[in-house]
Structure 1
């Protein structure tokens, strides 16, 4: 497999240094340490919260009413952005909400910068591809069939090295489909991960046949907020992205972004983030929700400006990385912003080489095949080591042992025989030999809500059911699809005002594709459901030819169906919707391939 040098005679060099200085004065004023001069800024009048799964919109509104605040759900999970009235203290409200028993966490909405600095142009080559063994990896995989989402300032979709890689994305800054790059940072990051292979142009990305999904979450100065990141991440997961790249500083600090990353993991994806360019131990606690990348140079040494700490999981080349720039040019850049898409690209190669591997298995193989640097084993400078594409892809191709061990799951509280009323907090204990992907709380056998990150915590509105005995159970699933159902716990509901039994089933519609349609490639399957008791209690399941393909809670279900894996002929798509009382409705269509 051949790869191309950045010294290609077709290269056009853009004045990135001047453009960057003009657009990002806070970063330009920094020392070589990168983003050390960035002020710790928070969005005024905003708080990010994570509710216990199952908390209704009405209950959340009542909880926020004393603060005069309103909440907006970010994506389809339990993350909400709370908007406060003018003059309210976000810090004071955050402190009060953080102690509320119906919430998992509350945090201020912090502004974070991109983790990239540019260097002067020079006629160099893509040394990092040789360092990580990209050419050897490309003999087995080039990333086809995998979608990598780049959450950034947008992407130049007209760049000749990126144009054929682009799939539709979304702009969460302007709430539009316009994902054009407003800064240049996103295009540089995208090129390091997915610039086309063997097209006789410019540079090669690590996964040069992967699909590139641009998700704009930053402004023209390359700043974003945790809330925008979390929203973009959950959206990318719902659209079928298998890898998400976030080349921004301070991402691993946010509980909201960690929850969004766990949501993507629950759908089989992995999230890769930058350690930062401050050249210090960031003091951030390790997290299993995302991969955190520090930067190395051509001598396999951590760069002086790369941040480090116990949260770092892996390292990658990040200095003088030749990549794409806005306007069709090429440039050498440096920063942990560059190291991050190198890792994202390698993950794309692994997933493409062995599509049946779970995300947890891909992650473990990525770590175990890395080139150990620094202290033996995982350390604060290099994590498990510098990424090794050749070894990682070879391990992915050779991996045959499947995870067949199901999770262990049980209801932690309330205890069996307990009398409950009102909003009931339910905790679930779930563990797995590799990792739990999601936990569902079931009431009388019907799914109430789903949680994708530990601690698995739910809120059940017992007023929706008639007084008397009801059964709680939990259903846990790991990344390989192994599942376990807990033992039942019986509780006695006793509310002052008992409700009549709900006998009205949900209304379900399969929105796309159309009945009788001819499908090919990646097809977006979407459904919508409504119920007389509200959307919070709805659970939806999508079956393709009788096999469960996707599930969702709430009013919407979306699934990216890879029809390439389906045989030619007629296929049946069926959606089953259930409400909290167990009433169900079904709709189905037939399509052909």
Structure 2
């Protein structure tokens, strides 16, 4: 893989309303253009410092919050690539519904081409089929100035600025986080205390009993529901998530794999690298939600009769860079367009809001999908971010992990905060063991935790509820899950509705 970032497992759009005055779009707009567009650009360290500061102050970061100079500096330090979201208002993201989308896009392209003095092929390198956005190359400050004066621009942001390039590199799956949710191909011997064997010889992870999932199986096993998992792909070497997906008590379902990630450092590169997981994270998440119940002696998934569609959308869990963000956007729009999909689960994210991903999430949400995103799993230097993006979006259901016990405490690497909706018990008292899941390779299992597994577990529970009530809407399913949780009807300030009782949710 081309990156070796810290396991900021799940670090993790600018979407601002169209307005008639340029001043409304960026902070510091009362300064003159000459002062704002200084000749000297900010360093990456300075940009990141400002991102951290704003994140601490506001709980999240949007590029509109940083000012002109910061935006221009980040564009320059991101291969001069820019994503432009356009529309008649902030909610005009769907190109199929937009009345003036083509007209607005044509005007913006004309402005860019006239200012940049380049050919369309050189300047406009990606136009979206479903969303009102495009990716362009901007090398002149005057071009950005001209665009910022346009009324029908929802957001302008760097398309390839990489926050983590300036952070000290650590192993993607090092020993300090080997039981959380980054990349890894490890396996482990699962302690007998951490599972219960059920017919025909499947292992039920210990934490399933904390949420009465085995009891829920008396009423529903997820049959008839399709879960879409947006992650790093699915292992071709784990047959239980492939040729043996329909086996034992798991039958009559399908598994499909897609790849929408381009493995290149250059934003304008094309050519997806396929659906195969090259990280390990995606395989773990898919198995938590849907692994079969059979005689393999390995961990079973929550909704072991649900169908599965996986998308390899990124190289690892940190959505930092053009192709990661583009891949996630493509996965969400594709799943949004798939009428068979009811639920989308993504255990990846960023501390920076990304416009095109926000548009993709909103697009899928507009199609009736129930979307679960990880609240955040990270090492100490990034857990200031609170609930990460896109879990922080109102269209997403944010999930985090907690420790086993009578009081609520986030797991060692998990984020918490006011935007969390549900929690899943992830970490054992005493041993600190996480959750048994299928590993990358056949006949192997591993311990994985963090808000990653919590999210996939919650998506599986949602599949149980929806399968029991196939005529329900997304909102009805979500309401039932809330009513079956610890803190209902009062939401906890850090842990939302708390732990879900799956058996109660399906009764």
Q: Is TM more than 0.5 here?
A: yes
**Whole-angstrom CA distance in 1 between matches of 2:212 and 2:148:** 47
**Length-normalised TM-score, structure 2:** 0.63
Task: Identify if the C-alpha distance between structure 1 residues 284 and 212 changes in structure 2 by more than 3 Å, giving closer, same or farther.
Answer: closer
SS at structure 1 position matched to 2:84: strand
- Residue 158 of structure 1 and its aligned partner are, at CA, apart by 4.6
Q: Map 1:88-487 to 2 at 5 A.
A: 97=147, 100-109=150-159, 117-119=177-179, 121=188, 122-123=190-191, 124-125=194-195, 126-163=205-242, 164=245, 166-174=254-262, 175-176=271-272, 178-219=274-315, 223=319, 225-240=324-339, 241-250=341-350, 253-278=353-378, 279-280=383-384, 282=386, 287-299=393-405, 300-319=408-427, 320-328=434-442, 329-372=444-487, 377-394=490-507
Question: Does structure 1 retain, via aligned residues, the 8 Å contact 2:319–2:325?
Answer: no
- Residue 64 of structure 1 and its aligned partner are, at CA, apart by 3.0
**Whole-angstrom CA distance in 1 between matches of 2:388 and 2:238:** 37
SS at structure 1 position matched to 2:240: coil
Task: Identify if the C-alpha distance between structure 1 residues 112 and 67 changes in structure 2 by more than 3 Å, giving closer, same or farther.
Answer: same
- Residue 389 of structure 1 and its aligned partner are, at CA, apart by 1.5
- Asked if residue 63 in structure 1 is aligned to residue 98 in structure 2, the reply is no
SS at structure 1 position matched to 2:79: strand
2:135 paired residue among 66, 82, 97:
82
**Whole-angstrom CA distance in 2 between matches of 1:152 and 1:94:** 33
Q: Could you say which structure has the higher helix fraction?
A: 2
**Whole-angstrom CA distance in 2 between matches of 1:290 and 1:98:** 29
Task: Identify if the C-alpha distance between structure 1 residues 172 and 95 changes in structure 2 by more than 3 Å, giving closer, same or farther.
Answer: farther
- Asked if residue 27 in structure 1 is aligned to residue 3 in structure 2, the reply is no
Deviation sequence 1:165-198 (CA, Å, 0-9, x none) = 6533321114558311111111011111111124
**Whole-angstrom CA distance in 1 between matches of 2:128 and 2:348:** 19
1:48 paired residue among 55, 80, 83:
83
**Whole-angstrom CA distance in 2 between matches of 1:148 and 1:230:** 17
Q: How many residues align?
A: 363
Task: Identify if the C-alpha distance between structure 1 residues 292 and 115 changes in structure 2 by more than 3 Å, giving closer, same or farther.
Answer: farther
Match of 1:437 in 2: none
Task: Identify if the C-alpha distance between structure 1 residues 84 and 133 changes in structure 2 by more than 3 Å, giving closer, same or farther.
Answer: same
Q: Of the two structures, which has the highest relative contact order with CA contacts closer than 8 Å and spacing of 6 or more?
A: 2
**Whole-angstrom CA distance in 1 between matches of 2:313 and 2:491:** 32
Question: Does structure 2 retain, via aligned residues, the 8 Å contact 1:250–1:275?
Answer: no
SS at structure 2 position matched to 1:213: strand
Question: Does structure 2 retain, via aligned residues, the 8 Å contact 1:23–1:220?
Answer: no
- Residue 58 of structure 1 and its aligned partner are, at CA, apart by 5.3
- Residue 26 of structure 1 and its aligned partner are, at CA, apart by 2.8
Q: Could you say which structure has the higher strand fraction?
A: 1
Task: Identify if the C-alpha distance between structure 1 residues 196 and 176 changes in structure 2 by more than 3 Å, giving closer, same or farther.
Answer: same
**Whole-angstrom CA distance in 1 between matches of 2:222 and 2:82:** 38
**Whole-angstrom CA distance in 2 between matches of 1:389 and 1:84:** 49
Task: Identify if the C-alpha distance between structure 1 residues 135 and 258 changes in structure 2 by more than 3 Å, giving closer, same or farther.
Answer: same
Task: Identify if the C-alpha distance between structure 1 residues 303 and 96 changes in structure 2 by more than 3 Å, giving closer, same or farther.
Answer: farther
**Whole-angstrom CA distance in 1 between matches of 2:238 and 2:487:** 36
Task: Identify if the C-alpha distance between structure 1 residues 194 and 101 changes in structure 2 by more than 3 Å, giving closer, same or farther.
Answer: same
Which is worse superposed, 200-209 or 39-48? 39-48
**Whole-angstrom CA distance in 2 between matches of 1:293 and 1:93:** 41
Task: Identify if the C-alpha distance between structure 1 residues 156 and 166 changes in structure 2 by more than 3 Å, giving closer, same or farther.
Answer: farther
Question: Does structure 2 retain, via aligned residues, the 8 Å contact 1:115–1:336?
Answer: no
**Length-normalised TM-score, structure 1:** 0.55
**Whole-angstrom CA distance in 2 between matches of 1:176 and 1:227:** 11
Root-mean-square deviation over aligned CA pairs = 3.4
From the CA coordinates, give the structure whose radius of gyration is larger.
1
Task: Identify if the C-alpha distance between structure 1 residues 392 and 118 changes in structure 2 by more than 3 Å, giving closer, same or farther.
Answer: farther
Q: Map 1:438-587 to 2 at 5 A.
A: none
**Whole-angstrom CA distance in 2 between matches of 1:384 and 1:71:** 44
- Residue 345 of structure 1 and its aligned partner are, at CA, apart by 0.7
Task: Identify if the C-alpha distance between structure 1 residues 326 and 284 changes in structure 2 by more than 3 Å, giving closer, same or farther.
Answer: closer
5+ residue gaps in structure 1? 1-21, 395-593
- Residue 221 of structure 1 and its aligned partner are, at CA, apart by 7.8
Match of 1:470 in 2: none
**Whole-angstrom CA distance in 2 between matches of 1:71 and 1:26:** 27
